[in-house]
Amino acid sequence: MPTFVLYNINRETMFGTILRKKVSDEKLANVFINGLFSTIDNGFPVVAEMMNEDQSFVVSPNIQVTDSYEFSLIVIIGNLKFLESAFEPEQADRVEKLICEKLATAYGIELTTFKALIKDYSNLMARLNLPSKNMLYAMSKAIFDKYSLYNFQDEYFKRMQVPNPLFLKRMDEIIENFLWDWDAFFKKYRLD
């Protein structure tokens, strides 16, 4: 008599894998950019309000809701770094190349200029975050630096020219909302 091994198959997972929509690198780049821009456009006013009202500052930095340029670049670069860990290296390179081309066009600058801008911001983020490699922390520290928030703090942190760690913790919690959710994406889509 043959022996059968029964496996507990999760039908939702099995059929979900088959029924997920296929998406090309081009479509992925478009979805990624549009999703980030939408999130930034809708979320930055909340970030600006948080920075203006944060108790870590003696004086409000008076960040305007229209001052999102630096924030946008930091969020984009941080998400590009996470892109590298979500894909195989070859595909990550292809998708990142498409994203950079589209973003350079969106920002109205040459691709080489945009890539240099990304490199400058990436280097700044790495330098501000030494020795940590945590990209979320790097993003929060870069926001602090790019908005020149050092001089709005109490005298101790102002003199040291370092961010108040309590502010950074609150900023980390906010920045998490601006990180692309690759797990959710891969549950809905599969790549060509």
- Beta partners for residue 189, in sequence order: 21
What is the pLDDT, as a whole number, of residue 2? 42
Which of the four pLDDT bands, split at 50, 70 and 90, describes residue 187?
Answer: confident
For residues 142 and 125, is the Cβ–Cβ distance under 8 A? yes
Which of the four pLDDT bands, split at 50, 70 and 90, describes residue 19?
Answer: low
Give dist(CA 104, CA 94) in Å, integer. 16
**Per-residue pLDDT tens for 28-80?**
999 999 999 999 999 999 999 999 999 999 999 999 999 999 999 999 999 99
- Beta partners for residue 23, in sequence order: 191
Cα 108 from chain centroid (whole Å) = 21
**Per-residue pLDDT tens for 91-144?**
899 999 999 999 999 999 999 999 999 999 999 999 999 999 999 999 999 999
Residue type, 62: N
Q: Which two tokens stand for residue 156?
A: 């101790």
Looking at the predicted structure, is the pLDDT value of residue 160 above 90?
Answer: yes
**Per-residue pLDDT tens for 123-132?**
999 999 999 9
Domain extents for the chain?
A: 20-183
